[in-house]
Structures are given as structure tokens and as C-alpha cells.
Amino acid sequence: MTPDTIMTIGSRALEMALALAAPLLLAALITGVLIGAFQAATQINEMTLSFIPKLVAIAVTLAIAGPWMLKMLVGYTRDLIISIPGLIN
């Protein structure tokens, strides 16, 4: 196994982790900004107000994007396992 191969596998793993985390993080970010704007407009300074909406948004996003995320993860894992014999030169 060459260093280039290891770097390729590592960069693909990081890309996969970013692609899988992005929908959930974006949902939490958008929900947090909306709740923050609501709190600023109404002057409600409750720190725990944003937890439940963020949790609901992440659950909805996971229900919608979950099959796509699972398909990507299984495909990446399958490709990685299939490439093992070529890596053992």
C-alpha cells in the first residue's frame, strides 16, 4: 500500500463523513437561527427553548434523508471492502 492510496482512502472517508453530517448540521443551524431570531424579537432569554425544535428538526431531517445517507454509507463501505484485494499488493 502506497502513501497515495492511504491519502485517497482517508480523503474519501472525510468526504463521506462531511456528506453524511451536512444535512443534519444544516437542519440544526437553520433551526437555531430561526429560534434565535424569534428569541431576539420577543426578548425571551430562555437557553433551553431551542433544544426541542432542534431535536425535532434533526429527527425530521433524519427521517427524510436517512435512506439516502444509508445508501451512501453502504456503497462506500462496499467499495472499500471490494478494493481490499487490490490494496494488499
SS3 assignment, position 2: coil
The rounded distance, in Å, linking the Cα atoms of 38 and 69 is 31
pLDDT band at 82 (very low <50, low <70, confident <90, very high): very high
- Here the cell at position 62 is 433524519
pLDDT digits (tens, 9 = 90+) for 14-71: 999 999 999 999 999 999 999 999 988 988 888 888 899 999 999 999 999 999 999 9
Return phi, psi of residue 52, to 5°.
-65, -45
- Confidence (pTM): 0.80
pLDDT on residue 87: 82
